Amino acid sequence: MESEKKTIDIGDGAAIPNPDDPGLFTAWRIAFFGTLGIIAYLLIVHPDPYLEIIKFLPDGIVVTFKVTIASICLALVLGLVAGLGRISHNRAYNLIASTYIEVIRGIPLLVQLFYIYFALGRIVKVPDMIAAIIAMGICYGAYMGEVFRAGIKSIDQGQTEASLSLGFNRTQTMRYVVLPQAWRTILPPVGNEFIALLKDTSLVSIIAVSDILRRGREYASESFLYFETYTLIALIYLTITLILSKLLSIMESRVSHYEQR
C-alpha cells in the first residue's frame, strides 16, 4: 500500500491562529493581550522613559510600512513573472526564472542590501529607501515565484483544457481562468510572506533607513536607555505581527468558506 505523500507547510512569517488548533489559538490570545497589557503597564506606571520613547517612534513605524508595502508590491510582480517562467515551456524563459530564484534565494537578504546600497553605489548612487525596496522586493520576489508556481500547478489541468477547447489561447486561459482560481490558493502564503517581510525590514536600519529599529537606535544612543528602548521596540513589532497574523487567519477562513460554497 502506498502512503499518501504529505507536505510540511512551515513559513517564516507568523504562526497563524486557527480555531481548529486550540493550543495555538489560545497562545495567540495570551501573547496579544499580554503584550498590550505590558505596553499599557509600562506607559502608565513608568511614563518616563517609555512614554518619551513611544513618542519618538511613530515616523519610524510609517517608514516601516512604506518599505513593506512597496517591497511586497515589487515582489508580487517579480514573483508572478518568475512563477510563470518556472512553468513555461520556453526553455530560455524557464532557465532565466529558475536561475533568478536559485541565485537570489542563496544569498542572504542583508548581503543583498549591502550590495545594492554600497557596492552598486560606487557605480550609481541609490537612495537608501529605494535601495531597501529594491533589495527586499528582489529577495522576496524569488520566494513569491515558488508560491505562484505552486498555486498555478494546483489548478486542475482540466480547467486549462476546457478553456482551450472553448477558443481561448494560452495567455487568455492563464489570465482569465487559471490565475483567478490560483489566487485563492496563493493568498494565504502571500500574506505570510508579507508578515515575514515586515519583520525583515528591521535590516534596512543598517543602510540608514529611518524605520522603527533605526529610530530606536537613535534614541538609545542619545539617552543610553538601551534596555527600555529595545524592550518597547520588541513589543511593538510583536503587536504588529500578531495583528497581521490574526487578519491573515480571518482572510484564510473567508477564502475557505468561499471555496466550500
Instruction: Give the integer Cα–Cα distance in Å for 91 and 199.
Output: 36
Other Cβ atoms less than 10 A from the Cβ of 167: the count is 7
* pLDDT for the residue numbered 13: 58
pLDDT band at 131 (very low <50, low <70, confident <90, very high): very high
Please check whether residue 210 is in contact with residue 201, taking contact to mean a CB–CB distance below 8 angstroms: no
Please check whether residue 229 is in contact with residue 51, taking contact to mean a CB–CB distance below 8 angstroms: no
What does the pLDDT average to over 90-100? Answer: 95
Q: Give yes or no: residues 218 and 177 share one domain.
A: no
Instruction: Give the integer Cα–Cα distance in Å for 98 and 226.
Output: 44
66 within some domain = no
Q: Give yes or no: residues 41 and 155 share one domain.
A: no
pLDDT at 8 over 80: no
Least confident of 16-25, 93-102, 178-187, 219-228: 16-25
* pLDDT for the residue numbered 162: 81
Least confident of 18-27, 56-65, 119-128, 218-227: 18-27
* Average pLDDT of every residue of the chain: 86
Q: Give yes or no: residues 141 and 226 share one domain.
A: no
Q: Give yes or no: residues 111 and 233 share one domain.
A: no
Angle between helices 91-105 and 128-153 (to 10 degrees): 120
Query: What is the tens place of the pLDDT at every residue in 101-117?
Result: 999 999 999 999 999 99
Q: Give yes or no: residues 106 and 218 share one domain.
A: no
* pLDDT for the residue numbered 7: 42
Boundary of a domain, candidates 166, 185, 210: 210
44-to-40, 54, 123, 226, 239 alpha-carbon distances in Å: 6, 12, 51, 20, 18
Query: What is the tens place of the pLDDT at every residue in 196-234?
Result: 999 999 999 998 898 999 999 999 999 999 999 999 999
Q: Give yes or no: residues 47 and 104 share one domain.
A: no
Number of domains the chain is built from: 2
Using a 10 angstrom Cβ sphere, with 0-12 exposed, 13-18 middle and 19 or more buried, the burial of residue 64 is buried
Using a 10 angstrom Cβ sphere, with 0-12 exposed, 13-18 middle and 19 or more buried, the burial of residue 41 is exposed
Structural domain boundaries enclosing 174:
71-210
Q: Give yes or no: residues 194 and 223 share one domain.
A: no
User: Of 8, 11, 13, which is closest to residue 201 (Cα–Cα)?
Assistant: 13
Share of the chain above pLDDT 90, in %: 57
pLDDT at 4 over 70: no
102 membership: H or E segment, kind and range: helix 91-105
In the structure grid, which three cell numbers stand for residue 145, read together? 515565484
User: Of 219, 89, 236, 80, which is closest to residue 160 (Cα–Cα)?
Assistant: 89
What does the pLDDT average to over 165-191? Answer: 81
* pLDDT for the residue numbered 11: 57
pLDDT band at 5 (very low <50, low <70, confident <90, very high): very low
One-letter amino acid at 253 equals S
pLDDT band at 26 (very low <50, low <70, confident <90, very high): confident
106 within some domain = yes
User: By three-state DSSP, how is residue 18 classified?
Assistant: coil
